[in-house]
Amino acid sequence: MQAKTGPETAGTGLPGLDRVFTGLLPGDNVVWQVDAVDDYIPFVLPFVSASLSGGRRLVYFRFARHAKLVPEGIGAEIHRLNAEAGFETFTARIHKVIEEAGPGACYVFDCLSDLAADWYSDLMLGNFFMVTCPYLYEMRTVTYFALLRESHSYDSVSSIRGTAQVLIDVFRRDGRLYVHPLKVDRRRSPSMYLPHVWEGETFRPLTESAVLSEVLADRMKRRADAVPRTLDMWDRKLLQQAGDIGDEVRFEARPGGGEAELFRRHLRMMVTRDERLFDLASRWFDLSDLFAIRKRMIGTGLIGGKSVGMLLARAILAKADPVWKERLETHDSFFIGSDVFYTFLVRNGCWHARREQRNAASFMDGAEAAREKLRTGAFPAFIVEQFVAMLEYFGQSPIIVRSSSLLEDSFGNAFTGKYQSVFCPNQGSPRERLGSFLAAVRAVYASTMSAEALMYRSYRGLIDRDEQMAILVQRVSGGLHGNLFYPQVAGVGLSYNPYVWSGQIDPEAGVLRLVFGLGTRAVDRSDDDYTRMVALNAPLRRPEVKGGRGTPAASQRRMDLLDLKENRFTSEPIDGVLRVSKELPVDLYAARRSALSLRWDEVPRRVPDGWVLTFDRLLSDTTFVRDMRQMLRILQEAYEYPVDTEFTANFLPGGRCLINLVQCRPLQVREGGNIVEPPKRIARDALLLQTSGPIIGRSSLSTIRRVVYVDPAAYAAVPPRERASVARLVGRVLNLAPSIGPPNVLLLGPGRWGTSTPSLGVPVSFAEIARASVLCEIIGEEMEVVPDVSLGTHFFNDLVEADMLYMAVHPGRGKDALNRRFLAKAENRLPKLLPDDAEWAEVVRVIDLPDPRDGRALYLNANCVRQRVVCYLAPPEKGR
């Protein structure tokens, strides 16, 4: 949109600034929020010059003690006023001047903060603005005002914000002026509400998350608080005790002892009550960290596991090696305290349903009705005010609203994917952005009542535990490319690699699951795509076929991103995105398809031009692999436990790479296991299956008591719309009360288990298959799907927490084999176990062992180090 400067409008006198908020409109009351009047003057003088040169009447109201803003003798009317005459006299004189000047004049006021000093009242300052600005608006004037930041009550500033048409934050950093529009009525642009740096004649928007967070976080350090709050007992106690102890320490009355006591008390109050995390936080946080958290906290209570993990990991890195302060992207997250969740439940009539969830026999009763109430619930006004202040801080930067419950990301319970997180592209007017944010918070709260979350809590024995929902609000890492916003690299990093696909891989070095764009494809199994697996001690050795070299079929083809023009989360083909990403260092991540064709095909042929994501230069020509390996090592040593992290990485124009560590939690991996050699000779009819990977889990020799087999050919014949019925049936079989001792169950089926696309596998939920011991995906003629190892995804974390072995078998590839004859001929117990589902007996087969015909038991020998599994029938006395 072009700047609107014409016969009816007065420009700012700074064409670059006019382009920021598309010019000034008749009726605009423009409020400049500054640290000092000296920062107001650079905007006043060009406006005065532009107004006078355009033949407009310029009126200057002079009443403050600061230096004169508009010089004498340039054609401006100067009206000298005495604020000490009182509110009514002062206001009446100004209104008389406005009436006499008529429509279309331009006005400059001295800094309004002096009025509050003269009237001894912030309330009267707000009243003055509320009675004067509507009159100026009706007269189609353009008027400049200034306020000193951090000098007035939130209520007075709120009334000014509500009345003004334009509110602009002005600040200095490193000698340069920045403008950050907070409110602009009747205008839109994709970057209007971002901070802009004044460079010569231009005002350049800051669109890179790394730059924005660094600039704004630095400003926040000098502010008393990030959001408006009335000090309750919680805040007063924290601040008073900290002040008292600070004075005593300064005067050597109590050197440090009280500070430690205060720190421990408020660590339990704000951060965590989990003993293992409390011990970690006690070692790596200090009192200043708690004050930094409180400054960015909305409401009260705990900040939840996801927030703790992110903050703790950053503190560990910064204090273990100061160089990480330069390698990490600055975080400027906000925290919605867990008490806000309970307040929301109580005020929206959901507390009874919440109490019922503590009863193991009735925890699902009323959950769906309560969930609907939470999706439309109302927030207390004082909480909404704090949300507004937070959104003003972020401007139009995309944000993500993430669940951070008390039990989430702790030792033993990851809750991965059980609660919702919502991306907010954060475009539109302040009112629209607030509406989208409120909907996102409601969605997170409502997800606590979802069947999946409640079933997980029941399965993990957590139904009667205190599970409040806090929320972590993070700036989305990345940069703007045209209308598209995304990080260059995102992914999951594990400090221990449970998938050793080559003898050259050291599991202790860690592993990454990399994607281009938003990290959603790294944590959610993308049925239509693939990710890049990176063993950190052998980063170029890939698990795909053909000697470890990648193929187009096993490379990421689509990416997740935010379309700011459409204000939505979406997925787009790589080639289309790269065409509009002109400043991206694309050669670090991708190679031309034509240049790689000889690597993929034995016979050269013409291939369409375009890009293939390989990440090769990122892994070989930069310090990225070294940095990630060091980061994971430091965190594992501090946790004294393997860790699971989520991160992004972006290269700035100067070539500097910044890593954004957005999540860290204990990795619930079970290492090791007994490695026993299988029999040297296994008869063909005794071999059920054999595979050379991929295999993830613990090495073991176990006895399988039941096989649940979805026949690939029969499943392929099921109409797609009916395949969900097969998934539900598998869930019913897996959740039958065990009648054969410990439920050692092998689940065997075509394509990808847990897919959302029935044409690619069986669309079960993890809750339906949680009782399986072994999960095997059959890759074959009916479903040609390349196995995509799910390390780091929500699905993978569920497998690990359940101590479930994962593998894929590709009959006909190498030594892989599957005994379909045995599976087809063995007795199918489905009709006896579930008579109402007997019609599906050709599709789903339930085979119990030992084999009733000859008494043979079924043994599964898994060697995860060598990536080999053999499953075979043998007499009980000879199977081990």
* Percent of residues, the chain, with pLDDT higher than 90: 57
Nearest to 716 by CA among 842, 824, 846: 842
H helices of 381-501, where?
381-394, 430-447, 451-459
User: CB–CB of 317/345 below 8 Å?
Assistant: no
d(CA 218, CA 204): 19
Six-digit token string for 663: 């999540």
Residue from 212, 135, 207, 133 nearest 167 by CA: 133
Residue tagged 């995906």 (tokens): 777
> pTM, whole model, 2 decimals?
0.84
Residue 168's DSSP bridge partners are 32, 181
How many Å apart are CA 32 and CA 170, to the nearest integer? Answer: 7
Q: Which of 174, 136, 171, 152 is nearest to 25 (CA)?
A: 136
Measure the CA–CA gap between 322 and 367, rounded to whole angstroms: 48
The two tokens of residue 266 are 């408020």
Task: Please tell me the distance from the alpha carbon of residue 287 to that of residue 161, in angstroms, as a whole number.
Answer: 34
CB 758 within 8 A of CB 720: yes
Residues contacting residue 728 through CB under 8 Å, at least 6 positions apart: 768
CA-based radius of gyration for the chain: 32
**Any idea what DSSP says for residue 301?**
S
Higher pLDDT, 65 or 813: 65
Give the pLDDT confidence of 108-148 residue by residue, as tens digits: 999 999 888 777 678 888 889 999 999 999 999 999 999 99
Using the structure block, give the residue that is written with the tokens 């003003």.
392
Which residues contact residue 191 at a Cβ distance below 8 angstroms, ignoring those fewer than 6 apart? 20, 205, 207, 396, 480
Q: Which residues contact 724 (CB under 8 A, 6 or more apart)?
A: 758, 763
pLDDT of residue 40: 98
DSSP E strands in 667-803: the ranges are 687-691, 695-696, 700-704, 706-710, 745-750, 774-778
* Segment holding 306, helix H or strand E: helix 305-320
Summarize pLDDT for 435-485 with one digit per residue, the tens. Answer: 999 999 999 999 988 877 777 776 666 666 778 899 999 999 999 999 999
Inter-residue contact 394 to 213 (CB < 8 Å): no
Which letter, b or e, does each residue of 548-584 get, where b requires 16 or more Cβ atoms within 10 Å of its Cβ? eebbeebbbbbbbbbbbeebebebbebeebbeebeeb
Residue pLDDT, tens place only, 549-580: 445 557 899 999 999 999 999 999 999 999 99
Report residue 801's pLDDT band, with 50, 70 and 90 as the boundaries. low
Residue 694: is the preceding peptide bond cis (ω within 30°)?
yes
CA dist., res. 344 & res. 486, Å (int): 32
Where does 822-878 show beta strands of DSSP type E?
844-848, 857-863, 868-874
Start-to-end Cα distance in the chain:
75
Instruction: Report CA torsion sign: 671, 674, 679, 680.
Output: positive
462: Cα within 13 Å, side-chain hemisphere: 20
**Better pLDDT: 56 or 702:** 56
pLDDT digits (tens, 9 = 90+) for 802-817: 778 888 898 888 889 9
Question: Using alpha carbons only, what angle is made at residue 61 by residues 58 and 65, rounded to the nearest 5 degrees?
Answer: 140
Q: Is the pLDDT of residue 49 over 50?
A: yes
Q: What is the mean pLDDT of residues 256-275?
A: 82
For residues 313 and 83, the model is more confident at 313
Region 82-97 average pLDDT: 92
pLDDT at position 226, please? 77
Q: Is 427 exposed, middle or buried (0-12, 13-18, 19+ CB in 10 A)?
A: buried
